Structure 1
Amino acid sequence: MKFGHYLVIGLSAVLLIEPSGAGEKKAAAYDIVIRGGRVLDGAGNPWIPADVAIRDGKLAKIGRVVKRGRREIDATGKYVSPGWIDMMDQSGPALRQVGTAPNKINMGVTTLVGGEGGTPVPAADIKAYFRELEEKGISVNFATYYSATQARVAILGDTDVDPTADQLQQMKALVAQAMESGVVGITTALIYPPSSYHKMKNLIELSRVVASYGGLYASHIRDESAKLLEAVSEAIRIGEESGAGVEIFHLKAAYYPNWGKDMGEALAMIAAARTRGVNVAADIYPYTAGGTGLEITAPSWVFADGFEKAVARFQDPEIRTRMKRELAAGPQPGWTNLVHASGGWKNVVLANSYLTDYEKFHGQNFIEIGKALDRDPADVAWDIMLAAYPERPVALYFMMNEADVKLALQSPFTSIGSDAASALKEGDIDAIGLPHPRSYGTFPRIVAKYVRDEKILSLPDAIRKMTSWPATRMGFEDRGLLREGLAADVVIFDLEDMQDTATWDTPTAKPKGIEYVVVNGELVLDQGQHTGKLPGQVLRGPGYKEN
């Protein structure tokens, strides 16, 4: 009897002690467990109720998770999705300075695809550049293109000349070197000199090199305005003849006389090419204004003989008279006239002059500025550009129609790209100096405006456009889906609270509704606050060779 009494007491003691020990074991089972959320897998499927467990940077279990995590997050009533992918990023140089990318993380973005202007280093230094990012640390995953124009300028300089056969071979060798260093493809920005001097036949040859490695040709196409359809056709042909996949950057119908017409035709052209077997798609940002440098307001021939001669031309009164005449004439061969495409200087707004004397005019259109200074708007723009050099003054060009934006969003082959850089400090304008709300608002705007408020997209499809579709396009095989064994890039958000608060007047306002962001298994945004952690990885392209 006494023995039994002690046995009971002993068992009771074990029971009292065991839960504590078991708790320690359960707490160590996973790094993070997200409980009770509405899980969107990223593939376009409706949400399911599930827990998500993360361990060692991977998605360890999705479903009913019994064991505990070192960090438990209650996602009841919230949505849980794969991390969002920015398909048209400008952070290549910025991440070398500051790796935290606060505006991107605040938007739920876990992976950036940069490189419209190429890499911030020559082809020979790309491997070292990637190692630099990894050693310094970045909060986001990062992949980049190399620019065909980098190869062109390295061999030909910045003038309008056609390469010889030998020079083209040298350019192709640089592209091959870049691909083997880990870039995901090549880019062009064909409205900007000297990129605009590329001929299609040469781009096909460069893209053949890219195709041999399984990469993409991505392009700010030759004209997004009056000759949009010709430019889309050129991009498709480059892919069709070279075998490279094609990504059309920030697809837009930026020509006010053709609003409501060209976007539908452009989408139909892309769809028809895809039916033929061309691997072509596009990304977009959800705004009606683009943002770029003031140099685009001058005809391309001004820059044809290099920058020094361009400066002399800008300073010549007779040449300025000719430039103004061409501005007023509308579309010109070899030049996208964004002033005309926007409907005139009244729809071109000075965003950042980099000049103290002009700060008071930031946010005003050039008609207003011209009146205030009693000067021609073109002269104001060009004088700002010359005075600010080597900085690149930028403007907002209100040249798109909201109905066209919505139409493009609804296409199954469009993804989302911000066309913005990471900020060096939270609350500052992005590192390219453009105060455009897209740098702080692009991704939450998709969910808040086009899913919840206007129901242009379903939530599962919007998430697909920001996760599995771009991951599939880019060959990021371990990202873009919530699947056990894949990399743990995760966003937790409140659909009802989601809001892009960045506007034209307050372009750097932080969005609401994104509460947690996990990158490679580490919390980078915790209850809406950046943790400072740098778990991001460089995502190398299909041609990468380690040695």
Structure 2
Amino acid sequence: MIRSIALIFVPLLTGAAAPAPDPAYDIVIRGGRVLDGAGNPWVAADVAIADGRIVRVGVVDGAGKQEIDARGRYVSPGFIDMLDQSGRVLLRDGSAASKLRMGVTTLIAGEGGTAVPAGEIAGYFSKLEQQGIAVNFGTYYGAIQARVKVMGDAAGAPNEDQLRAMEGEVRTAMKAGVFGISSALIYSPASFQSTADLARLAAIPGKCGGFYATHMRDESDKLLAAIDEAVTIGERSGAKVEIFHIKAAYAPLWGKLMPQAIARVEAARARGLDIGANIYPYRAGGTGLDVTVPTHVFAKGREAAYAAVRDPAVRKQLKKELAAGPQADWSNLVHASGGWQNVVLANAHNDRYRQFHGKNFAEIGKALGKDPADAAWDIWLAALPARAGALYFLMDDADIDLAMKQPWVSIGTDAAVSDSTADPARAGRPHPRANGTFPRIIADYVRERGVLTLPDAIRKMTGWPAQRLGLADRGLLRQGMRADVVIFDLATIRDRATYEEPTAVPEGIGDVIVNGVVAVAGGQVTGSRSGNVLRHPCPNA
């Protein structure tokens, strides 16, 4: 009896150890304050990840191949950028470093359309997957893409055959997996599309839970009419409506337009329209200098417009239109900003004018001995075929705060990912939203000013947009969901990008996980390519 007991304990007496069990999980995030993305208060919990999904939230006993200490930090779903501009850049550079550093794990692009024609979208998606992208990516297809293919870039109403051809393009795009159609009606030739034509095209995504997503016809003095048009298109077509970067971009009516705009959206929602909006947290918008030219100039196409604006006699008339303020068919952003002193050159795409980056056009005009309009139009034409860009200081902080509080508003950067293949000397002064938007929401709107609670801010950036998009397995930190995760320090998170230093990297975001793979570790981008192309199902388009 004694001998047999001794034999049982021989391994222990000789110092041999039992083999360590294999790790139970790929990643375990330990001891963080977990925000689930649905707007609930944080809970203290571990998060276990395996095979790209969250398998446990709570006390996790098993080990992970990777262990992340999140004590004292917050753990949330990865952020969703509802207005991304990366469709072309990702073909050249899939690293998405600037978005990852902001905690963004999913991009929804396509305000101006897809990077390729409708018939090439399926192949485009496959190419992104084959090359590898660091974030998840989905897109809309531009209604203007269908129009230009069928009838060019001039003004005019399409006939029935042309409309049917446009519908064919939209069907092809929807079958490839886009989330719906988009419009950017402030720009020509999109501005030539009618409400009825857009409603007809939007009916195709409307059959399968898709979107009509719109940069509306006007965001200034005619904002309310523009919202009414978007609502009409949604109600006629059956499509969900997403308003891009909602704003009251008209200095004379700051404090008045935004409450009325919100009431319009609320009334539509009360009637049963699935309508929402996204926003960026900055006073300035950013777009091309071409918007300083009245829409009618582009009626015969862009090449004809370029020739017209080179004519001094035409310019004389255009300056009168600029000075006259609002017009029925054109958003006069110079007037809406309060004058050329509030329009700042961001990128001239021309070495001759690079010295004026960051200067307003009152200053530029004075330096060149020109009317500010002449300076702007000379820079615009000199940049072709590139698009000279400017910052337009259009918004009021109180209006932004009010819009931000609305439960149906999500967050979008209106910016592309950084492009490592581009010449940094050609970058100009891009909008700081490209590098600061999401950290700015938490640092300024939550921590510093209390405009939003932290759980609601996270909901706006995660659970709410995922629910809108129909991404049933993303946007929440719950068992079975895709493991898109961001870990940040509430005390130190902040945006460092400014109008003067727009590419400064944010602080306070330590770790980012995309589909169960660490994409940012200790604030450093790892070079992973674990992103997925997101396709909206529409087999019966």
Same fold (TM over 0.5): yes
Aligned pair partner of 1:469 in 449, 464, 473:
464
Which residue of structure 1 aligns with residue 301 of structure 2? 306
SS of equivalent residue, structure 1 residue 543: coil
Residue 77 of structure 2 corresponds to residue 103 of structure 1 = no
Paired residue type of 1:101: A
Q: 423-432 vs 266-275, which deviates more?
A: 423-432
User: How far did residue 213 of structure 1 move?
Assistant: 2.3
- Counterpart contact for 1:429–1:508, Cα < 8 Å: no
Output the aligned Cα RMSD.
1.7
Tell me, what secondary structure is at the counterpart of 1:17? coil
Letter in 2 for 1:335: W
- For residues 480 and 218 of structure 1, the distance between their equivalents in structure 2, rounded to whole angstroms, comes to 20
Distance 1:303 1:420, change over 3 A: same
Q: Which residue of 2 is the match for residue 7 of structure 1? A: 7
Alpha-carbon contact 2:435-2:502 (below 8 Å) kept:
yes
1:216 pairs with 211, 218, 241, which one?
A: 211
SS at match of 2:270: helix
Question: Residue 124 of structure 2 corresponds to which residue in structure 1?
Answer: 129
CA contact (8 A) 1:94 1:431 kept: no
Corresponding residue number in structure 1 for 2:272: 277
In structure 2, the partner of 1:58 is: 53
Indicate the larger mover: 353-362 or 108-117. Answer: 353-362
Amino acid at match of 1:259: W
Q: Structure 1 stretches of 5 or more lacking a match?
A: none
Call closer, same or farther: CA 1:360–1:235 in 2, change over 3 Å.
same
Aligned to 2:444: 449
Find the counterpart in structure 2 of residue 512 from structure 1.
Answer: 507
The 5-angstrom pairing of residues 120-519 of structure 1 reads: 120-425=115-420, 435-519=430-514
Shift of 1:300: 0.6
Q: Sequence identity of aligned pairs in percent? A: 56
Distance 2:490 2:16 in 1: 43
C-alpha distance in structure 1 between counterparts of 2:423 and 2:307, whole Å? 35
Paired residue type of 1:167: Q
TM-score by length of 1: 0.96
Contact 2:119 2:172 in 1 (8 A): yes
What are the Cα deviations for residues 44-79 of structure 1, in whole angstroms up to 9, with x where unaligned? 000000000000101011110000000000000100
In structure 2, stretches of 5+ residues that fail to align are none
Aligned partners of 1:204, 1:70: CA distance in 2, in Å? 52
Q: What residue in structure 1 maps to residue 114 of structure 2? A: 119
Q: CA deviation at 1:332?
A: 1.0
What letter is aligned with 2:451? Answer: I
Of 515, 524, 531, the match for 1:529:
524
Compared CA separation, residues 202 and 545, structure 1 to 2 (3 A): closer
* 1:334-378 Cα shifts (integer Å, max 9, x gaps): 111000000000000001101111111100000001111110111
- C-alpha distance in structure 2 between counterparts of 1:40 and 1:545, whole Å: 38
Q: Is the 8 A contact 1:423 1:429 kept in 2?
A: no
Cα displacement string for residues 148-201 of structure 1 (whole angstroms, at most 9, x for unaligned residues): 000000001000010001110110111011000100000000000000000001
**Counterpart AA for 2:521:** D
Matches of 2:295 and 2:422 in 1, distance apart? Answer: 35
Do the aligned partners of residues 504 and 428 (structure 1) sit closer, same or farther apart at CA in structure 2, a change above 3 Å counting?
farther
CA distance 1:524–1:430, change in 2 (3 Å):
farther
CA 282–14 in structure 1, closer or farther in 2 if over 3 Å, else same = farther
User: What's the CA shift for 1:431?
Assistant: 10
Residue 537 of structure 1, CA deviation: 0.2
> Offset at 1:2?
5.9
Deviation at 1:311, TM superposition (A): 1.4
CA gap of 1:460–1:529, structure 2 versus 1, over 3 A, is: same
Matched to 1:152, the amino acid is R
Q: Which residue of 2 aligns with 1:89?
A: 84
Cα distance in 1, alignment partners of residues 281 and 425 from structure 2: 18
Shift of residue 542, structure 1, vs aligned partner: 2.5
Give the secondary structure class of the aligned counterpart of 2:213. strand
- SS for the counterpart of 1:160 is coil
The AA in structure 2 aligned to 1:422 is V
Q: Distance in 2 between matches of 1:429 and 1:418?
A: 20
Conserved? CA contact 1:182–1:545, under 8 Å: no
Cα deviation, residue 333, structure 1: 1.6
Number of residue pairs matched? 541
Query: Secondary structure at the residue paired with 1:351?
Result: strand
Q: CA deviation at 1:383?
A: 0.7
Give me the whole-angstrom Cα distance separating, in 1, the residues matched to 2:86 and 2:539: 21
Could you tell me whether the CA contact under 8 Å between 1:394 and 1:434 is conserved in 2?
A: no
> C-alpha displacement at 1:146, in angstroms?
0.2
| Residues 68, 346 of structure 1: alpha-carbon distance in 2 compared, 3 angstrom cutoff | same
Distance verdict in 2 for CA 1:426–1:468, change over 3 Å:
farther
